[in-house]
Amino acid sequence: MENLLDNLEPKPLWNYFLELSKIPRGSKVEAEAAQWVADQGRALGLEVSQDAVGNVLIRKPGTPGKENRPGITLQAHVDMVCEKNEDTNHDFLKDPLKLRRVGDNLYATGTTLGADNGIGVCAGLAVLASKDIAHGPVELLVTIDEETGLTGANNVQANWMKSKFLLNLDSEEEGYLTIGCAGGVDTITTRQLTLAAPAAGKKAFRLKIFGLKGGHSGIDINSGRGNAIRILAQVLNVLRPTFGFELAAIKGGNKRNAIPREASAYLFLDPAQEAAFKAELAKQETNWKAALGAFDPGLAMSLEAGSADQVMSAADATAVINLLLCLPHGVEAMSPDIPGLVQTSTNLGVIDTKDGKIEINLLSRSSFDPSKFALSERIAGACAAAGFESHLVGGYPGWKPEPKASIVKLIDGVQEELFGKPMKIMAIHAGLECGLIGEKYPGMEMASIGPDMWDVHTPDEHVSVPSVGNFWKLLTAVLEKI
């Protein structure tokens, strides 16, 4: 991998990214990566502190003549979403990422890349390591567990940072200045199953939905991409009356903030019906491919040998399938104030069957908190009607846009000086940590920038190498202006 990043600029940023990519850092198991960040700060002779949950704060004084300028905190999260293709042999708890370059883009082989938000972390470290950027006091705040619970941002202590400004480095489009984001809340719903042995003479099969793009449950929720869990439920509902299969388990999705790319149902079917079942499944695949069209052309369905010991009762199977058909997924409402912005949505993200229980996880987002909670109440009502218990977890607030803030005007002006065009100022339908941090630091001016990256939260995640160079130019020029 060392040769992979040769001739890339800025070298310090890419060198840090190469090293970080060798360290496993899935959400909630990113302690080694956070320690690595702290070690880099200490190696530079800077002041380093770490809080009880593992967040790291590194301080660098202003350069000569700028010691008394207003301070700025650069902020990024060290954890990454761990998604891989089913046929990829990769252990996210111990294996380094296998980076590969395709033209101007950087990928990982068969897995997520972790540019979200490793690029931000490494940009911050590169600023701390620099000796040729004239800047005021700089703090680098690197948080943990952003992707699965915003644990780090939730536990940032008031008065820890000293800066007037905060620049989040977790955006994913060059030339865009993010000044607001949606809040979110998870719904976890469960049902205890009644299990029994399958009927005599039936054989275990696995019905699989796969080949979908998936994507970020906020950024991509209005992209028209298929949800493997929803498609599986509808296929089961169509085929069950004809074939009378017994349902053993449903599993699908990996992260509540990623649109599910794959889902499987484990079922028992009369072997004499296998050929007919496959023929009907092929029809379903054709219909669904036509429905999704160019939005998600890779959809595929298969029936293969499966493995299971018990089946759920017919009543359980009916309740599970019906609930999956009723639960929302996708855009609920568009913003009445910002054209093209999703205001409220839900991602039907994960389903699993284990220990005699079925569990479903949904993530609802909204830039308007009452809409977020109203949607959660509707989900809870549907769950209760289907005999499921549900509760809310991990709620976090949105970030209110402040378009007239001085940091917004400053970054916009620097962008125009460097590239001859202003920033596109926007709010996004995704979660950033600014909302939570802003609650602890009222009055702190905040904005977010980043390079072009695509298909985050999927194994197709990739980042534009030239865009990272432009991101770095903007970041360093902003630091010199403050």
pLDDT at 29 over 80: yes
Q: Which domains does the chain have, with CATH numbers?
A: 2-182+398-481 (3.40.630.10), 185-396 (3.30.70.360)
Q: Which helix (H) or strand (E) holds 124?
A: helix 115-129
Pick from 216, 203, 361: nearest CA to 269: 203
Report the mean per-residue pLDDT for the chain.
95
pLDDT in tens, 34-65: 999 999 999 999 999 999 999 999 999 999 99
pLDDT at 1 over 60: no
Q: Is the pLDDT of residue 4 over 80?
A: no
| Averaged pLDDT, 13-21 | 97
Q: Is 164 helix (H, G, I), strand (E, B) or coil?
A: coil
Quick one: pLDDT at residue 2? 55
Query: What digits encode the pLDDT tens for the residues 89-111?
Result: 999 999 999 999 999 999 999 99
Q: Which residue has the tokens 């293969």?
A: 304
- β-strands 424-428, 176-181 pairing: parallel
Do 281 and 207 meet the contact criterion of CB atoms below 8 Å apart?
Answer: yes
Q: Which two tokens stand for residue 158?
A: 């008031």
Q: What is the pTM of this model?
A: 0.78
Phi, psi for residue 219 in degrees, rounded to 5:
-65, -40
Give the pLDDT confidence score for residue 6 in this predicted structure: 77
Q: How many CB atoms lie within 10 A of CB 277?
A: 20
Q: How far, in whole angstroms, is CA 379 from its chain's centroid?
A: 22
Q: Letter for the amino acid at 103?
A: G
State the pLDDT confidence band at 273, using cuts at 50, 70 and 90: very high
Give 132's contacts (C-beta < 8 A, 6+ positions apart): none
Catalytic residue positions? 79, 146
Decide if pLDDT at 395 tops 90: no
**Each residue's pLDDT tens digit, 297-310:** 999 999 999 999 99
